[in-house]
Amino acid sequence: MEINNNYKNLETSYLFSTISKKVFEFINEHPEKDIIRLGIGDVTRPLCKTVVEALQKACVEMGTQEGFHGYGPEQGYSFLREKIQKYYQNRKVNLKTQEIFISDGAKSDLGNILDIFSKKNKVLIPDPVYPVYVDTNTMDGREIVFLEANKDNNFLPVPDKNLKADIAYICSPNNPTGAVYNKDQLTAWVNWALENNAVILFDAAYESFITDKDLPRSIYEIDGAKSCAIEFCSLSKTAGFTGTRLGYTIVPLDLNYNNTELNKMWLRRQTTKFNGVSYIIQKGAEAVFSEAGQEEIKENIDYYKKNASIIADTLKKHNIWFTGGINSPYIWLKCPSNMESWEFFNCLLYNIAVVGTPGCGFGKNGEGFFRLTSFNSYEATKEAMERLDNLLSNL
Amino acid sequence: MEINNNYKNLETSYLFSTISKKVFEFINEHPEKDIIRLGIGDVTRPLCKTVVEALQKACVEMGTQEGFHGYGPEQGYSFLREKIQKYYQNRKVNLKTQEIFISDGAKSDLGNILDIFSKKNKVLIPDPVYPVYVDTNTMDGREIVFLEANKDNNFLPVPDKNLKADIAYICSPNNPTGAVYNKDQLTAWVNWALENNAVILFDAAYESFITDKDLPRSIYEIDGAKSCAIEFCSLSKTAGFTGTRLGYTIVPLDLNYNNTELNKMWLRRQTTKFNGVSYIIQKGAEAVFSEAGQEEIKENIDYYKKNASIIADTLKKHNIWFTGGINSPYIWLKCPSNMESWEFFNCLLYNIAVVGTPGCGFGKNGEGFFRLTSFNSYEATKEAMERLDNLLSNL
């Protein structure tokens, strides 16, 4: 038996293990210090009341003969697909329910979608980037070209007409930079994809943080996108489902390559290698889209957005360049005094006991940048920014 | 962009859609008939009390600040992996917790595991077979060779010494045949794999139906298996989790090919393309392995096994050859009067309004055979067998 040798080309990321190690060392040296973590990429607010009630009700149902549910449809129950259809309709995006596939999360689908593409495709990935895009393609042995995201383009690159690739990743609002593409920029992407017979994999995991009405929350708000883009979304950040697990992927019926409908291919992939999401979790997800659910999750998102604005205000006060923080839970800042990423990490840790994420961990263009997140508590975020304000005043 | 052209080689199975169509036609012609379905491959008994309570408790926890759980370990929580470790220990199989990976189901893992193997491997699959083994390898373009399972070998084939293959599938207790390999037969498989540097993918989804103490419930009860086999299991049939979704896969640390540990590869695959199973569902699964949980699920399994024995007794009475029905929820019978599979299907439907599954739908060696399942209610199964008894008495 021969293994998939592409795995040998995977690079091991030591980013989060190195952070842990450094924080551990610091705690050992300074056990009295009150560390505040703003490196967290995970939500911290509990599930909202309406969702918990729906989950509980479904658990009880599953214990009764009449309410028991066995195998469900691999692509998700209609009751949930219809709610998501309506969620898109509210933003004037019309989808058919068979274009909506329920899964256990965007990460799974972003990896698994590659099953339906040839290994010969060339892949375009912005740098800095969520590492999963690179790793999943490396596992398949696909050629990767990077698109430079940097301060000059506000970390929102658009491909040049001459750039050739078959599969392109966009994450907007972006992880790690928090930057959000506007309509013109996404239109340029869609036009590029249509001209190049490419497919866009659009990661919309943070769409619910967009409050600016002019910014697109779905790629399908752009004309032509249904002929060239697959959209991935999730309730992880929208409704605090990181530990509850539910995502959804839109594969439009108009997506057609080599005379083959991608929708049919993905349906075949999912019915063959997946058995659907738990009925219980799907009932919880349905409640997210109820009127009460939408109001309750908005409170949590607003909570995180308030934290983000406290961070943004502190950076503005000190004229520190940054992206994100308004329509995103992430703030991506240029390290002050031209520090390198790890230098600034140590500076924050040893001077004010605040932990963030060095930007260089997300790609070469991340060097000299730093990510802060809004997922800690209001109190901790405020305290951390008071410390940062002091530090920057004396730097 | 080029699609994965291997998808064009997939055969569409019309088995279950044809069954539905034929039953629908029959109902239209005979609306007065009381149809009994013994074709069901899904459990029907509700989740047991202890599990429902644990699920509910976890839902409540997730709604509190202290009890909230965000991202968990991709490979599953220790509290559950340790329970599964103990479950194996009870059968004298010693596993390390890092050899146990929690997932949303055996079907997902059986498909996804192929990511870590080269496309150049030759795959050995018994016929008749659970169609997913064939389809997932066809998607990757691997060469498939079939191993003949038939009446002569009691549908329990063992590979000949001269047979060369790299990846081999075993499902025991088997779907669709209900046949169970004994220790000698599994030892022959393990020896063959070790001699051929092959890996066995052992599907143990129905292991909990084995009550015969001499029959292995895990491939790791066989010496040497930890150096050549991956085992897939699930709570679907064990605890009625078909709609709740939880499985687990054992990748021993001793599995080493091309100087590479498969355990590390699978860990990398799962951390990159999966984000773990819902905390809520893992808490429900943990309860399955509690003392009360084990007693309660045993009641359900015994319920199905009683149904199976009613079916088996009816077939014995009429000297109909069959496998399964004792250590399995499935009964695989030779169609009486040398009927072909679909002929017998029509015979049952039109004479006694009983629905089963034609064996030919599982591969060429299934022609002339028929699958009945024990997943309907006791009352319905008993009634169906009374009708069958009458029919066979007059055939």
Smallest Cα distance from A94 to chain B, Å: 25
Smallest Cα distance from A40 to chain B, Å: 11
Mark yes or no for CB contact B265/A4 under 8 Å. Answer: yes
**Nearest to residue A147, comparing CAs of A169, A131, A132?**
A169
State the pLDDT at residue A161. Answer: 87
**Closest residue on chain A to B194 (Cα):** A1
Whether A331 shows a pLDDT value over 80: the answer reads: yes
pLDDT in tens, A191-245: 999 999 999 999 999 999 999 999 999 999 999 999 999 999 999 999 999 999 9
State the pLDDT at residue B388. Answer: 98
Confidence of residue B161 (pLDDT cuts 50, 70, 90): confident
Cβ atoms B164, B195 nearer than 8 A: no
CB atoms within 10 A of CB A245: 30
Partners of residue B240 in chain A, C-beta under 8 Å = 68, 70
Cα angle, residue A338 at apex, residues A332 and A343 outer, rounded to 5°: 80
State the pLDDT at residue A13. Answer: 80
State the pLDDT at residue A267. Answer: 96
Sign, Cα dihedral of A98, A104, A106, A107: negative
Confidence of residue B137 (pLDDT cuts 50, 70, 90): very high
**Closest residue on chain A to B73 (Cα):** A243
Mark yes or no for CB contact B272/A115 under 8 Å. Answer: no
Q: What is the mean pLDDT of residues A293-321?
A: 98
State the pLDDT at residue A41. Answer: 86
pLDDT in tens, B73-101: 999 999 999 999 999 999 899 999 999 99
3 state SS of A232: strand
Residue type, B209: F
Smallest Cβ–Cβ distance between A243 and the set B3, B10, B70 belongs to B70
State the pLDDT at residue B25. Answer: 96
**Closest residue on chain B to A49 (Cα):** B63
Q: What is the mean pLDDT of residues A277-306?
A: 98
State the pLDDT at residue B11. Answer: 87
Confidence of residue B395 (pLDDT cuts 50, 70, 90): confident
**Closest residue on chain A to B1 (Cα):** A166
Instruction: Tell whether omega for the bond before A73 is within 30 degrees of 0, i.e. cis.
Output: no
Mark yes or no for CB contact A1/B273 under 8 Å. Answer: no
Percent of chain B with pLDDT over 90: 96
- What are the respective helix, strand and coil percentages of chain B, to the nearest 5? 45, 15, 40
Smallest Cα distance from A363 to chain B, Å: 17
Mark yes or no for CB contact A2/B72 under 8 Å. Answer: no
Which pair of tokens denotes residue B114? Answer: 């192929």
Confidence of residue B249 (pLDDT cuts 50, 70, 90): very high
Smallest Cα distance from A179 to chain B, Å: 24
Beta bridge partners of B168: B124, B200
State the pLDDT at residue A342. Answer: 97
Q: What is the DSSP string of A152-170?
A: GGTT-----TT---SEEEE
Mark yes or no for CB contact A52/B60 under 8 Å. Answer: yes
**Closest residue on chain B to A124 (Cα):** B1
Mark yes or no for CB contact A260/B139 under 8 Å. Answer: no
Task: In whole angstroms, give the CA distance from residue B370 to residue B177.
Answer: 9
pLDDT in tens, B164-202: 999 999 999 999 999 999 999 999 999 999 999 999 999
Mark yes or no for CB contact B59/A64 under 8 Å. Answer: no
Task: In whole angstroms, give the CA distance from residue A371 to residue B347.
Answer: 69
Partners of residue B277 in chain A, C-beta under 8 Å = 104, 245
**Average pLDDT, whole number, for chain A?**
97
State the pLDDT at residue B13. Answer: 80
Cα angle, residue A267 at apex, residues A230 and B207 outer, rounded to 5°: 130
Confidence of residue B287 (pLDDT cuts 50, 70, 90): very high
CB atoms within 10 A of CB B162: 5
Smallest Cβ–Cβ distance between B118 and the set A4, A121, A281 belongs to A4
Smallest Cβ–Cβ distance between A245 and the set B3, B277, B284 belongs to B277
- Backbone phi, then psi, for A93, in 5-degree steps? -105, 120
**Closest residue on chain B to A263 (Cα):** B3
Q: What is the mean pLDDT of residues B126-131?
A: 94
Partners of residue B272 in chain A, C-beta under 8 Å = 111, 132, 135-136, 139
**Nearest to residue B327, comparing CAs of B205, B171, B207?**
B207
State the pLDDT at residue B369. Answer: 98
Q: What is the mean pLDDT of residues A328-353?
A: 97
Whether A167 shows a pLDDT value over 90: the answer reads: yes
Smallest Cα distance from A78 to chain B, Å: 15
Whether A48 shows a pLDDT value over 90: the answer reads: yes
Cβ atoms B165, B137 nearer than 8 A: no
Which pair of tokens denotes residue A224? Answer: 């032509």
Smallest Cα distance from B239 to chain A, Å: 11
Partners of residue A166 in chain B, C-beta under 8 Å = 1-2
**Average pLDDT, whole number, for chain B?**
97
**Closest residue on chain B to A120 (Cα):** B2
Mark yes or no for CB contact A280/B280 under 8 Å. Answer: yes
Mark yes or no for CB contact A112/B55 under 8 Å. Answer: no
Partners of residue B116 in chain A, C-beta under 8 Å = 3-4, 7
Q: What is the mean pLDDT of residues B377-389?
A: 98
Mark yes or no for CB contact B4/A104 under 8 Å. Answer: no
Cβ atoms B153, B175 nearer than 8 A: no
Q: Which of A9-13, B15-19, B283-287 has the highest mean pLDDT?
A: B283-287
Smallest Cβ–Cβ distance between B71 and the set A69, A243, A257 belongs to A243
Mark yes or no for CB contact A65/B46 under 8 Å. Answer: yes
Q: What is the mean pLDDT of residues B249-263?
A: 97
Smallest Cα distance from B214 to chain A, Å: 31
Mark yes or no for CB contact A118/B63 under 8 Å. Answer: no
Instruction: Tell whether omega for the bond before B252 is within 30 degrees of 0, i.e. cis.
Output: no
Q: Cα–chain-centroid distance for residue B316?
A: 25
Smallest Cα distance from A42 to chain B, Å: 6
CB atoms within 10 A of CB A15: 15
- Backbone phi, then psi, for A341, in 5-degree steps? -55, -50
Radius of gyration of chain B (CA): 22
- Per DSSP, B117 falls in state B
Mark yes or no for CB contact A3/B116 under 8 Å. Answer: yes
Half-sphere exposure (Cβ direction) of B28: Cα atoms closer than 13 Å:
6
The residue assigned the tokens 């032509």 is A224
State the pLDDT at residue A75. Answer: 97
State the pLDDT at residue A372. Answer: 98
Cα angle, residue B299 at apex, residues B238 and B244 outer, rounded to 5°: 35
Starting from the edge strand earliest in sequence, which strands make up the sheet with A199-203, in order?
A: A100-103, A247-250, A229-234, A199-203, A167-171, A122-127, A143-148
Residue in B64, B121, B278 to test binding to A, most A beta-carbons within 10 Å? B278
Task: In whole angstroms, give the CA distance from residue A2 to residue A241.
Answer: 38
